[in-house]
Amino acid sequence: MNSNNVVLKVEDIRKSFGENEVLRGVSFDVRRGETKVFIGPSGTGKSTLLRCINQLTPPDRGKVWLDGEEVTNSGARINYFRQKIGMVFQNFFLFDHLTALKNVELALLKVRGMGKAEAREKALTELRQVGMEDWADHYPAELSGGQAQRVSIARALAMDPDVILFDEPTSALDPELTREVLEVMKKLAREGMTMLVVTHEMGFACSVANEVLFMENGVVAEQGSPDLLLHDPRFTRMKDFIGRIDSRMED
């Protein structure tokens, strides 16, 4: 593959909170249509890494490029880049005072400056994408966690992003609801959406990811295709970690 396909480039990202060095130099390229999954123990900077990419948490050092344009140090243009870099959060963060439909519409109206009718049409289309069109007029408090997360995915999709960052999108959900959200994400991957996913769902990682990055102590310790990581004896640390997840789930 040639480098023209690289949509997101992350170079030597470093971030400390006080004495605590959370990210110690993380670099990778993301090609268009690719799904990269980040796994690893808690506190190894996976979520911080995602927030450094869209500058919700500005990194101390390192650079991020989207389609060849620098996202880091972009000043007020960051609001443009954030439209192009969608984000889905562990706790959904739907706008509590707005219906599902209005949640998806809001940024179309206020950021993209769309007309009401057009925004509504687009929002309904995105809700249909995630199977939530029948819930358009419900408020977040009336939705299950899985439904809320699907709406938040629709909200990110509405901005026509180049890439979507998923920050533990199913960690707040029980297995049943986890499945409905993962189904939506698998569908997006099949349709060619570029995704960076922080998750503990190994089944999802193995079936969807083009590449799995195992993070430990603020760096990418091991990376490769899911097959390679699971079956190549050299990748020991990740297998240890997966073993620990599995045994925890059996408890």
Partner 1 sequence: MDVLPVLIEWLPYLLSGVASTLGLVLVALVLGLLLGLPMALGQVYGSRPVRWVIGIYVWFFRGLPILVLLFLFWFGIFPGLGLGNLSAFVVGAVVLGLRGAAYQSQIFRGAIQSVGEGQMIAARSLGMSRLTAIRSVILPQAMRIALPGWSNEYPNILTDSAVCYAIGVVELLTITSRMVTQTNITMPVYLATAGIFIILNYGGLKVLHRLEARIAIPGFGTGAM
The answer to whether 46 contacts partner 1 (rule: CB under 8 A) is no
The answer to whether 106 contacts partner 1 (rule: CB under 8 A) is yes
- Pairing of β 85-88 and β 69-70: unpaired
For helices 175-190 and 145-157, the axis angle rounded to 10 degrees is 20
Interacting span for partner 1 (CB under 8 A) from 67-75, 148-156, 168-176, 224-232:
148-156
How many whole angstroms from its chain centre is CA 220? Answer: 17
Binding string to partner 1 for residues 66 to 105, with x set by CB under 8 A, is what? -------------xxxxx--xx-x-x-xxxxx--------
* Backbone region of residue 45 per phi and psi (left: phi > 0; alpha: psi in -120 to 50; beta: other values): left
Nearer to partner 1, 28 or 95 (CB): 95
The answer to whether 8 contacts partner 1 (rule: CB under 8 A) is no
Residue 125 Cβ, how far from partner 1 at the closest point, in Å?
Answer: 17
The answer to whether 140 contacts partner 1 (rule: CB under 8 A) is yes
Compute the 3-state secondary structure of the chain and give helix, strand, coil in percent, each to the nearest 5. Answer: 45, 25, 30
Q: Give the DSSP letter of residue 76.
A: G
Q: Could you tell me which of 82, 84, 83 has the C-alpha nearest to residue 57?
A: 82
Interacting span for partner 1 (CB under 8 A) from 18-26, 27-35, 119-127, 139-147:
139-147
Binding site residues, partner 1, CB under 8 A: 54, 56, 79-83, 86-87, 89, 91, 93-97, 106-107, 110-111, 139-142, 152, 155-156, 159
